[in-house]
C-alpha cells in the first residue's frame, strides 16, 4: 500500500491517548495444530504465541489429490485463500515485529497487542476454512513472500490494518455474487462479520472514533478488481510455481491513486486522480465519454470524467465520515459490466477521517 511522503510523520500525531483496559485470558497449544478445527480450537481464538498457530502442513501449497472435476466454488475459494495469505501474513508480521510496549507507549490500551494476536489467530482460522472449502480435485494455493513496508512502525502498521480490514469486507461482499452454492455464500457472510469486528476494534480502541459506517457497508460489484490490489504486497516472483494465477480472472487494470495534499477526500471535495504505475495507464479515446463511478453503501453515482485533467468531484450526497467510498473509471455510465471499467478501483478510507488522505496517495 502506498503512503504519501509525509504520511508516516503525520501518523504519529493521529493516534489518540486512550484509557488502559484490563487484559483478557488467553490459551491454546501448538501440540494439536495439525488436527485443530476453526470454531473448536483455541489456536484460532486466543493462542498467545508469536509463532504461527498453523501447522507446517498448511503453510504451503497443497496439491490436488483427486482427478475429478473441480468443485463448484473452487475457483472462488482459490482466489479467496490467496488473498487471505496476504492478510494473515500481515498480522503474523505484526505479531513478530511488535510487543505490548510498542502500543502502550502510544497511549493505546494495554490490551492492544493481545487483540492483534487474537486477530492473527482468527486470520489463521480463515486460512484453514478456505483450504477446507477447496475440493481435493483442485490445488490449494500457498503463501508468497510479502512486503508491507511498515518498517516496524506501529502507527503505519495500525493504519494498514484498518485499510486491509475494510478492503476485506469489500471483496467478501462482492465475492458473494460469484458463489454458486448457498453454503459458500453463508461462509463469506460469516467471515465478513469477523472482519467487520476487527475493524470495529480498530476504530474504537485505536482511533477513538465512531465504529458505525451507516446503515450499510459499501458494496463493490467486481470483487476480483479489489483482490488485484493485494498484489501490491507480494514480492515479485515469490509465489509458489504451483499456485494458480491470482486473481483469476484478472484484468490487470491501471491502479488509481490521488493527490492527498490537494483534497480532504470527503464527499463534495475535488479529487485529483493519477495512476500508481506510469507504465500501466488507460488508453483514452478523444471521441468517447468516460465516467468516475463512486460507490458508497448501496448507492452508486456517476460523474463525468475528463481524462485530460483527471479532476472529479466526490458526490456531496454521500454520508460524511462513514465507512469507505470506492471509485473506478469506466467507459460506460454506472460501470454496468466488469469490462466497462478501465481503471481502479480506488478505496477512500473515510473512517477514521485522519487516514483519508494518508493512504493510496502521491
121 and 173, same domain (yes or no)? yes
249 in a structural domain: no
131 and 189, same domain (yes or no)? yes
Distances (CA, A) of 270 to 254, 255, 264, 312, 328: 21, 19, 8, 6, 15
Name the grid cell of 308: 485530460
pLDDT of 32 reads: 82
194 and 110, same domain (yes or no)? yes
153 and 265, same domain (yes or no)? no
203 and 270, same domain (yes or no)? no
> Considering 213, 248, 283, which residue would you say is the last residue of a domain?
213
pLDDT tens-digit profile of 128-153? 999 999 999 999 999 999 999 999 99
305 and 186, same domain (yes or no)? no
271 in a structural domain: yes
Task: Please check whether residue 262 is in contact with residue 270, taking contact to mean a CB–CB distance below 8 angstroms.
Answer: yes
Domain that holds residue 136: 7-213
For residue 178, give the CATH number of its domain.
Answer: 1.20.1260
Task: Please check whether residue 332 is in contact with residue 325, taking contact to mean a CB–CB distance below 8 angstroms.
Answer: no
Q: DSSP string spanning 273-327?
A: EEES-TTS-----TTS-EEEEEEETTEEEEEEE-TTT-EEEPPTTSPTT-SEEEE
pLDDT of 171 reads: 87
Is residue 28 over pLDDT 70?
no
160 in a structural domain: yes
Model pTM greater than 0.85? yes
362 in a structural domain: no
159 and 306, same domain (yes or no)? no
42 and 145, same domain (yes or no)? yes
pLDDT tens-digit profile of 5-17? 455 555 555 554 4
Name the grid cell of 87: 492478510
How many structural domains does the chain have?
A: 2
> Considering 213, 237, 271, which residue would you say is the last residue of a domain?
213
pLDDT of 72 reads: 98
Distance of alpha carbon 357 from alpha carbon 159, whole angstroms:
12
201 and 93, same domain (yes or no)? yes
pLDDT tens-digit profile of 193-225? 999 999 999 999 999 999 999 999 999 999 999
pLDDT of 76 reads: 98
Listed in sequence order, the residues at least 6 apart from 197 whose beta carbon sits closer than 8 Å to its beta carbon are none
Q: Higher-confidence residue: 27 or 251? A: 251
156 in a structural domain: yes
23 and 147, same domain (yes or no)? yes
For residue 299, give the CATH number of its domain.
Answer: 2.60.40
179 in a structural domain: yes
Task: Please check whether residue 310 is in contact with residue 292, taking contact to mean a CB–CB distance below 8 angstroms.
Answer: no
Task: Please check whether residue 339 is in contact with residue 301, taking contact to mean a CB–CB distance below 8 angstroms.
Answer: no
64 and 197, same domain (yes or no)? yes
What number of CA atoms fall less than 13 Å from residue 104's CA on the CB side?
Answer: 11
pLDDT band at 29 (very low <50, low <70, confident <90, very high): low
168 and 90, same domain (yes or no)? yes
Is residue 19 over pLDDT 50?
no
Amino acid at each position: 500500500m502506498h503512503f504519501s511522503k509525509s504520511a508516516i510523520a503525520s501518523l504519529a500525531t493521529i493516534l489518540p491517548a486512550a484509557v488502559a483496559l484490563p487484559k483478557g485470558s488467553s490459551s491454546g497449544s501448538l501440540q494439536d495444530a495439525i488436527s485443530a478445527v476453526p470454531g473448536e480450537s483455541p489456536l484460532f481464538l486466543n493462542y498467545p504465541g508469536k509463532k504461527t498457530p498453523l501447522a507446517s502442513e498448511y503453510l504451503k501449497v497443497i496439491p490436488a489429490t483427486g482427478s475429478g472435476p473441480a468443485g463448484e466454488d473452487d475457483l472462488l475459494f482459490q482466489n479467496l485463500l490467496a488473498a487471505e495469505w496476504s492478510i494473515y501474513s500481515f498480522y503474523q508480521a505484526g505479531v513478530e515485529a511488535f510487543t505490548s510496549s510498542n502500543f502502550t507507549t502510544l497511549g493505546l490500551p494495554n490490551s492492544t497487542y493481545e487483540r492483534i494476536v487474537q486477530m492473527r489467530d482468527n486470520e489463521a482460522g480463515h486460512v484453514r476454512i478456505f483450504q477446507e472449502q477447496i475440493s481435493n480435485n483442485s490445488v490449494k494455493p500457498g503463501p508468497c513472500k510479502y512486503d508491507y513496508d511498515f518498517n516496524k512502525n506501529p502507527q503505519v502498521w495500525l493504519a494498514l490494518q484498518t485499510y486491509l480490514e475494510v478492503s476485506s469486507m469489500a471483496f467478501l461482499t462482492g465475492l458473494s455474487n460469484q458463489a454458486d452454492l448457498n453454503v459458500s455464500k453463508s461462509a463469506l457472510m460469516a467471515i465478513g462479520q469477523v472482519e467487520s469486528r476487527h475493524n470495529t476494534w480498530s476504530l474504537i480502541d485505536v482511533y477513538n472514533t465512531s465504529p458505525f459506517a451507516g446503515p450499510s457497508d459499501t458494496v463493490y460489484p467486481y470483487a476480483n478488481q479489489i483482490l488485484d490490489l493485494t498484489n501490491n504486497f507480494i514480492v515479485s516472483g515469490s509465489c509458489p510455481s504451483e499456485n494458480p494465477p491470482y486473481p483469476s480472472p484478472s484484468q490487470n487494470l491501471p491502479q488509481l491513486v490521488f493527490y492527498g495534499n490537494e483534497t480532504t477526500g470527503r464527499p463534495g471535495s475535488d479529487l485529483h486522480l493519477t495512476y500508481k504505475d506510469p507504465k500501466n495507464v488507460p488508453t483514452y479515446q478523444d471521441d468517447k465519454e468516460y465516467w468516475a463511478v463512486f460507490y458508497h453503501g448501496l448507492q452508486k453515482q456517476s460523474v463525468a470524467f475528463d481524462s485530460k485533467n483527471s479532476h472529479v468531484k466526490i458526490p456531496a450526497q454521500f454520508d460524511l465520515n462513514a465507512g469507505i467510498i470506492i471509485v473506478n473509471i469506466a467507459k460506460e455510465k454506472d460501470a454496468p459490466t466488469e469490462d466497462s471499467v478501465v481503471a481502479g478501483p480506488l478505496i477512500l478510507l473515510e473512517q477514521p477521517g485522519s487516514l483519508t488522505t494518508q493512504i493510496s496517495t502521491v
